[in-house]
């Protein structure tokens, strides 16, 4: 096999029929402005915590949107709630409130066996 010095990334596919989006829907109830997010990444690019850690608020809220909740509570502890991401969001997503709501939802006890 020829070595090109790079490899294609594995595709990440989610079978949405098998994923419970209960937590995501609850998040939209608590912070409806999240519906306007179009994944530009401005929030991550200006994040204060990002300067010192590998924290990516965009990665966190994208995972939440996809129903992938493992490890998110720990990730969210890296955020210092400075609010800079809220100021730069071109879609007016209230990220600071979104982060607090995600923390709240992830702290709630599981109601079912599904994730
Ligand atoms: S800056 Fe706003 S629109 Fe862009 S990814 Fe972040 S939340 Fe979404
Ligand atoms: S509130 Fe959190 S996610 Fe937003 S810029 Fe500050 S440290 Fe980053």
Q: How far is the CA of 104 from the centre of ligand 2 (A)?
A: 16
Task: Say if residues 40 and 106 touch (Cβ distance below 8 Å).
Answer: no
The CATH number given to whatever domain includes residue 98 is 1.10.1060.10
How far is C-alpha 13 from the chain's CA centre? 17
Q: Is 6 within a domain? A: no
pLDDT > 50? residue 34? yes
Task: Provide the number of structural domains found in the chain.
Answer: 1
Q: Is 11 within a domain? A: no
The overall longest dimension of the chain from CA atoms, in Å, is 52
94 lines ligand 2 (CB under 6 A): no
Q: Is 70 within a domain? A: yes
pTM of the predicted protein model: 0.84
- Taking each helix axis from N to C end, the angle separating 95-107 and 22-30, rounded to the nearest 10 degrees, works out to 140
79 lines ligand 2 (CB under 6 A): yes
Length of the chain: 115
Nearest residue (CA) to ligand 2, atom 6? 82
pLDDT in tens, 62-115: 999 999 999 999 999 999 999 999 999 999 999 999 999 999 999 988 765 444
78 lines ligand 2 (CB under 6 A): no
Please tell me the number of the ligand nearest to residue 89's CA: 1
Q: Is 58 within a domain? A: yes
- Parent domain of 61: 22-107
Q: Is 71 within a domain? A: yes
- Greater pLDDT, 17 or 60: 60
């Amino acid at each position: 096999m020829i070595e090109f010095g790079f490899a294609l990334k594995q595709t990440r596919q989610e079978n949405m029929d098998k994923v419970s989006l209960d937590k995501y829907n609850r998040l939209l109830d608590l912070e409806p402005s999240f519906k306007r997010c179009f994944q530009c990444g401005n929030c991550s690019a200006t994040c204060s915590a990002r300067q010192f850690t590998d924290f990516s608020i965009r990665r966190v809220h994208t995972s939440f949107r996809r129903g992938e909740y493992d490890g998110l509570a720990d990730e969210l502890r890296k955020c210092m709630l400075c609010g800079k991401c809220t100021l730069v969001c071109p879609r007016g997503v209230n990220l600071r409130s979104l982060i607090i709501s995600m923390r709240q939802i992830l702290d709630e006890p599981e109601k079912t066996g599904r994730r």
